[in-house]
Structure 1
Amino acid sequence: MSDEVESMMYVGETPWHGLGVSCESAPTVEEAIKKSGLDWEVEARHLITHTGEKARHRGIYRTSDGAKLGEVGPKYKPLQNREAFEAFQPFLDTGKAVLETAGSLRGGSLIWVLARLLGDPLTIVPKADDIVRKFILLAHGHQQGRSVKWGFVPIRVVCANTLGAALSAEASRLLRIPHKGDVVGALKRMPEIMNLADQTFEVSAEQYRFLASKGVREKDLLKYVRAAFAGGDPDDGSDEGGGLGGEGGAAPGGDAPPGAPPAPLIPSAEAKRYWLGEQIRRLFETGRGNDRPGVRGTWWALVNGANEYLGYEMGKNQERRLDSFWFARGARINQRLVRIALRFAKNAPSASN
Structure 2
Amino acid sequence: MAHLVQTMAYTGQKPWHELGNLLPRKQSIDVWAKNAGMDWEICETPVRYMAEQAGSLGSIMSFDDQKVLYRSDTKAPLSVVGGRYQVVQPKEVLEFYRDLTEISGFELETAGVLKAGKKFWALAKTGKESVLKGNDVVKGYILLATSCDGTLATTATPTTIRVVCNNTLALAINGATSAIKVPHSTSFDAHSVKKQLGIAVSQWDSFMYRMKTLSERKVKSHESMNYFLKVLCQSDSQSDVSQGLVNERALKKVQAMYEGHGRGAELGAASGTAWGLLCAITEYVDHEKRARSPEYRIDSAWFGQGATLKQRALDHAIQMIS
TM-score in same-fold range (> 0.5): yes
Question: Matched residues in 2 for 1:32 and 1:272: separation?
Answer: 39
- Residue 137 of structure 1 aligns to a residue whose secondary structure is strand
Which residue of structure 2 aligns with residue 154 of structure 1? Answer: 160
Contact residue 283 and residue 305 of structure 1 kept, 8 A: yes
The residue identity in structure 2 corresponding to 1:216 is V
Structure 1 residues 202 and 63, CA, compared in 2 at 3 Å: closer, same or farther? Answer: same
The residue identity in structure 1 corresponding to 2:26 is A
Question: Matched residues in 1 for 2:85 and 2:193: separation?
Answer: 20
Identify the match of residue 143 of structure 1 among 135, 141, 149.
149
Question: Matched residues in 1 for 2:198 and 2:146: separation?
Answer: 22
1:309 positional shift: 0.8
TM (norm. structure 1) is 0.81
Matched, 1:195 2:198: yes
Structure 1 residues 177 and 220, CA, compared in 2 at 3 Å: closer, same or farther? Answer: same
Which residue of structure 1 aligns with residue 252 of structure 2? Answer: 278
The residue identity in structure 2 corresponding to 1:283 is M
Structure 1 residues 268 and 134, CA, compared in 2 at 3 Å: closer, same or farther? Answer: closer
**Sequence identity, in percent?**
25
Structure 1 residues 21 and 245, CA, compared in 2 at 3 Å: closer, same or farther? Answer: farther
Structure 1 residues 20 and 225, CA, compared in 2 at 3 Å: closer, same or farther? Answer: same
Identify the match of residue 219 of structure 2 among 216, 219, 222.
216
Which residue of structure 2 aligns with residue 292 of structure 1? Answer: 267
1:2 positional shift: 5.5
1:42-95, Cα deviation, whole Å (9 max, x unpaired): 111112245453233211100111011122111112111222211111211214
Which residue of structure 2 aligns with residue 124 of structure 1? Answer: 132
Structure 1 residues 80 and 205, CA, compared in 2 at 3 Å: closer, same or farther? Answer: same
1:22 positional shift: 0.2
1:132-175, Cα deviation, whole Å (9 max, x unpaired): 111111111111243101131111111111114233265x5211
Contact residue 164 and residue 336 of structure 1 kept, 8 A: no
Which residue of structure 1 aligns with residue 54 of structure 2? Answer: none
Question: Matched residues in 2 for 1:290 and 1:147: separation?
Answer: 35
Is there any run of 5+ residues in structure 1 with no aligned partner, and where? 232-242, 250-265, 347-353
Which residue of structure 2 aligns with residue 307 of structure 1? Answer: 282
Question: Matched residues in 2 for 1:5 and 1:201: separation?
Answer: 30
Structure 1 residues 41 and 305, CA, compared in 2 at 3 Å: closer, same or farther? Answer: same
Q: Which moved more, 1:37-46 or 1:172-181?
A: 172-181
Identify the match of residue 165 of structure 1 among 154, 167, 171.
171
Contact residue 21 and residue 35 of structure 2 kept, 8 A: yes
- Residue 53 of structure 1 aligns to a residue whose secondary structure is strand
Which residue of structure 2 aligns with residue 106 of structure 1? Answer: 115
Q: Which moved more, 1:44-53 or 1:27-36?
A: 44-53
Which residue of structure 2 aligns with residue 230 of structure 1? Answer: 233
Matched, 1:73 2:82: yes
Contact residue 167 and residue 335 of structure 1 kept, 8 A: no
1:222-259, Cα deviation, whole Å (9 max, x unpaired): 2112211223xxxxxxxxxxx6768xx9xxxxxxxxxx
Q: Which moved more, 1:333-342 or 1:321-330?
A: 321-330
- Residue 32 of structure 1 aligns to a residue whose secondary structure is helix
Which residue of structure 1 aligns with residue 42 of structure 2? Answer: 42
1:7 positional shift: 0.2
Structure 1 residues 244 and 129, CA, compared in 2 at 3 Å: closer, same or farther? Answer: farther
Which residue of structure 2 aligns with residue 335 of structure 1? Answer: 311
Which residue of structure 1 aligns with residue 8 of structure 2? Answer: 8
Contact residue 166 and residue 207 of structure 1 kept, 8 A: no
Structure 1 residues 32 and 54, CA, compared in 2 at 3 Å: closer, same or farther? Answer: same
Structure 1 residues 319 and 161, CA, compared in 2 at 3 Å: closer, same or farther? Answer: same
Residue correspondences, number:
310
- Residue 189 of structure 1 aligns to a residue whose secondary structure is helix
Contact residue 285 and residue 306 of structure 2 kept, 8 A: no
TM (norm. structure 2) is 0.88
Question: Matched residues in 2 for 1:84 and 1:272: separation?
Answer: 36
Matched, 1:182 2:190: no
Question: Matched residues in 1 for 2:111 and 2:78: separation?
Answer: 18
Provide the aligned C-alpha RMSD in A.
2.3
The residue identity in structure 2 corresponding to 1:165 is L
Contact residue 9 and residue 111 of structure 2 kept, 8 A: yes
1:256-293, Cα deviation, whole Å (9 max, x unpaired): xxxxxxxxxx9573x54433221111111211111123
Contact residue 44 and residue 58 of structure 1 kept, 8 A: yes
Contact residue 112 and residue 120 of structure 2 kept, 8 A: yes
Question: Matched residues in 2 for 1:308 and 1:95: separation?
Answer: 30
Question: Matched residues in 1 for 2:104 and 2:2: separation?
Answer: 34
Contact residue 113 and residue 137 of structure 1 kept, 8 A: yes
